Each structure stands twice: as structure tokens, then as C-alpha cells.
Amino acid sequence: MLHSTPSWAKYSLVRLIVGGAAVVAATVVVQLLLAWLGARFGIRRAPAWVFLTYAASVPTALAAYMAYTRYFEGRAATELSIQRAGMHAIGGVLLGLLMFCVTLGTVAAFAGVTVTKGAGIAAIGSVGISLSAAVSEELVFRGLLFRLTERSLGTWPAVGISAAIFGILHLVSPGAGLASTVAITLESGLLLCSAYILTRNLWFAIGLHFGWDVAESALFGATMSGHPDSGLLATRVTGPIFLSGGEFGVEASVVALLWALLVTAILLVAAARRGRIQAIRFGAID
């Protein structure tokens, strides 16, 4: 049974704040609780427990988002429909894995990439972290910020606003600067928006986000957004910052940017051909 929407909850900004708070709270509370339990039993840093700590927040974040849409938007969360969800999620994961491998391979052709034996089973913790980040960030940035902004202003302003905010928030990451912020904005922000625009569901964007992150962290053990990760392999990238991404990681390199822009263009062209682009609506902010 769907619920009628309160009059004060019909404004996009209110919905963004309420929905974002619900998803973040559902994610953080579970992670803090399990981290506390892990500390009590001396297993907080055990790879399996790290995986559980982060992975367990995925269903609660999804449930919080769906509860928000039901009670504050008066509708079912069709963007999380299970119809073709598996196909979209798996397709996104495969594309994310492929994109990172092609990016790293291209960087290796022009700079220095050293791959050695990594942390083995400890990489499972990075899998959980990547999964939680992909789900929670896509719910907030594409499911809420982009979708609600598009509802008010149309597709292109929503793409620009959500991508810019996504990039700016990465300034808090170690090694971040102007170059990395621009790269994340034009690369991840645009790419993940285009994934949502094409499919009009969040599963493809979640899968794409997870595929890239899990390849960079859990598989290759490379620095991601300034954070060194434990992976099955250990990857060190050297060379000019514009190729290696410097301390921030490969995603801040011009190579990652160019590949991401290429894929973004392909997805947006496909979306346009399917009539998924909404016209700009000036003065429609609510």
C-alpha cells in the first residue's frame, strides 16, 4: 500500500535531505554497530569481519531508500525494480572491470606499472568496502541528487550539478586537488549519470561503480581515491602525474578520463536514441 505524500515533502530539496539522511544513517549505523561488536570480540580487523561490516549495510541502505520513496514520494522505487536487475548489475560490473583493466593497461604502455603478489584473502575486506560504497553512493548521488534535480530542471542541468557535487566531495580524499576533482567530475560523475540515464534504473550504475572499485582495490590493490587498498595483487603506478594520477590514484589520470568520456558518450548517444533525455525546464525548481 502506497502512502500519500505530505505537502511539505513535495519539494525536491526536502526530499533530497530526507532521503540522503535515511540512506546515510542506514549505512553508517550498521557499520558502526558491527565495528563495535568486532572490537569487543577482537575481530574488527579480520578480513571476513571487515567484509561483513560493510556488506551488511547494503540491504539496510536499499531498504531505507525504498522506505523513503514509499513514504515521502508516495511511489514504489521503480529504479530499484528487480526486473532485469541481475542483467543490468552484472553488465555494469563487467563494464567496470573492463574499463579499469583497459585503463591500467594503457597507463602501463606509457608509464610505470609494477604488479606483485598482494594480500591474498585480506582482499575480501576491500570487496565489502567497494560494495557498500557503490550502493550507498549511487542511491544518494544518482537515485536522489540526479533524479530529483532532473525532475526540476531536466537531464543536462542535473548531469552537471550532480557530477560537480560528486567531484567536489572527493576533495576530502588524501592526495586530492584541483586536477583530481575535475577528473572525478568529468569521469565518474558523468559516466555514472549516463549509466542511469540509459537504463533508468540504479542497478547498472551500481554494478559499474562496484566493478571499477573492486578491480582497483580488491583485485589489483592499487591506490583508490588516495587510499591504499589490500588486494589479491599489489599494484604500484609511477610516472608523470597526468598519466599515473599521482597520490590520488589512476582514476585521476588523463588516461582514465579519456576512456571514461568515450564510454560516457556511447551511453548517452544510446540513451538519446531511446528517448531517455529530458528537456531543460528553466525556472522549474521546486
Structural domain contains residue 30: no
Q: Is 3 exposed, middle or buried (0-12, 13-18, 19+ CB in 10 A)?
A: exposed
| pLDDT at residue 90, as a whole number | 97
pTM, full prediction: 0.94
CB-CB contact of 221 with 234 (8 Å): yes
| pLDDT at residue 228, as a whole number | 81
Q: What is the mean pLDDT of each run of 10 residues along the chain (286 residues)?
A: 64 91 98 97 95 98 97 94 94 98 95 89 92 98 96 95 93 85 91 97 98 95 85 92 90 94 97 95 60
Q: Is 78 exposed, middle or buried (0-12, 13-18, 19+ CB in 10 A)?
A: exposed
Nearest to 146 by CA among 283, 8, 276: 276
Structural domain contains residue 196: yes
Structural domain contains residue 37: no
CA 17 from centroid of its chain's CA atoms: 19
Which H or E run includes 72? helix 57-72
Q: 85-101 pLDDT, tens per residue?
A: 999 999 999 999 999 99
Domain count, the chain: 1
Q: What is the grid cell recorded at 265?
A: 558518450
Structural domain contains residue 11: no
Structural domain contains residue 48: no
Structural domain contains residue 232: yes
Q: Which spans in 123-277 are helix H?
A: 123-138, 147-153, 155-169, 178-184, 190-199, 202-214, 241-244, 254-273
Domain containing residue 200: 84-273
Structural domain contains residue 25: no
| pLDDT at residue 17, as a whole number | 95
Structural domain contains residue 47: no
